[in-house]
Amino acid sequence: MTKRRLRIGSRGSRLALAQTELVCVRLRELYPEIAFEVEVIKTLGDVARTASLSAIGGKGVFTKEIEEALLAARIDLAVHSLKDLPTTLPRGLKLGAILEREDPRDALIARAKADGSATAHLRALRSGAVIGTSSLRRLVQVKRMRADLEVREIRGNVDTRLRKLDDESYDAIILAAAGLNRLQLAHRITALFSTDEMLPAVGQGALAVEIRAADLDLERLLAPLDHGPTRCATAAERAFLRALGGGCRLPIAAHARCEGERLLIEGMIASADGAHVVRSSLEGRRDQAEAIGERLAEKIKEASATDLSF
């Protein structure tokens, strides 16, 4: 009898492949009778390296081609960084599993100085130091801590950005700790921002496995990979983002966590220049995750109607 085959779609970046490999290893261990094959799929976000992602359409640039392959049954499952996945999935697709979240925090990676040591923390950087990030969310939060720093756009995948930090005129860059950890690059981290200092992107640090909604058999196979507390926390965060209008270009951040049967969420929205920031939090029952996220969005919308000029 020939072995049953399941095809896993992944972007080709080193991080995407490492993340897909993580899922593959667990699936092969659980189901040695199934052949899991990785198919690399190029997305617009991978092709348009030099263009600003907001200029080429923002949401879904890392996922659209992969979702098309899923719908056309050229692949059976896809591994994504949850934070790259738009809050509303195409009809016919669903999240088969959300894996236990890695570190959700943002990390500061400072350039090594001539003596080999790295600047200890953002607070220790000289006035006028250049921080590389292309995330408005990170920009506005850096500016609130250190208005005297210069924030400059930086593009490319994690390895490219680290190389640019070493070669070009950035003093430090900011990346998600999760990606660095998964690439065995934790030693490059100079300091971690607390979530109070820098609220993460919705879904940051979590991996999602996307499947066809009708693929009930595959959903059952993926059940052991699903992590309940992460699913609840990220459901609240994604409901928050969706309610604020996922497509809007304003910096939005949220972080939720489960403590027993309770769920706590913090959310933030800022004006594009970072001059106005509304941040708030909410707590409730874990089984009400989406409703809590939506209520936080309402709370923040009310506060920002008077506070922000949207």
Count of C-beta atoms within a 10 Å radius of residue 265: 23
Of 24-32, 141-149, 175-183, 246-254: span binding ligand PBG (CB under 6 A): 175-183
Judged by beta carbon, residue 236 or residue 278, the one nearer ligand PBG is 236
Q: Is 256 in the site for ligand PBG (CB under 6 A)?
A: no
* Gap between the Cα atoms of 63 and 66, Å rounded: 5
Q: Closest separation between CB of residue 5 and ligand PBG, Å?
A: 28
Among 97, 172, 178, 292, binds ligand PBG (CB under 6 A): 178
Give the closest residue to 87 by CA, choosing from 233, 252, 239: 239
Q: What is the DSSP letter of 105?
A: -
Question: CB–CB of 307/278 below 8 Å?
Answer: yes
Cβ neighbour number for residue 284 with a 10 Å cutoff: 18
Q: Residue 196 and residue 262: Cα distance in Å, rounded? A: 20
CB 263 within 8 A of CB 284: yes
Nearest distance, CB of residue 188 and ligand PBG, angstroms = 12
| Stretch near ligand PBG under the rule CB under 6 A, chosen from 144-152, 173-181, 236-244, 264-272 | 173-181
Q: In this chain, which stretch among 68-76, 77-85, 268-276, 291-299 interacts with ligand PBG, using CB under 6 A?
A: 77-85
If one asks whether residue 84 binds ligand PBG (CB under 6 A), the answer comes out as yes
Residue 231 DSSP code? H
Instruction: Considering the complex, state which of residue 47 and residue 305 has its C-beta at the smaller distance from ligand PBG.
Output: 47
- To ligand PBG, the closest distance from the beta carbon of 37 in angstroms equals 23
Q: Is residue 179 within 8 Å of 18, Cβ to Cβ?
A: no
The minimum distance between CB 206 and ligand PBG, in angstroms, equals 6
Where do we find the tokens 């972080």? 255
Angle in degrees, 0-180, between the axes of helices 289-307 and 228-244, rounded to the nearest 10: 30
Q: Contacting ligand PBG (CB under 6 A), which of 9, 96, 132, 205?
A: 205
Give dist(CA 199, CA 179) in Å, integer.
17
Catalytic residue positions? 84
81 binds ligand PBG (CB under 6 A): yes
Out of 75, 79, 83, 96, point to the residue binding ligand PBG (CB under 6 A): 83
159/298 with CB nearer ligand PBG: 159
Residue 49 tokens read as: 């390296």
Which residues are near ligand PBG by CB under 6 A? 62, 81, 83-84, 158, 175-176, 178-179, 204-205
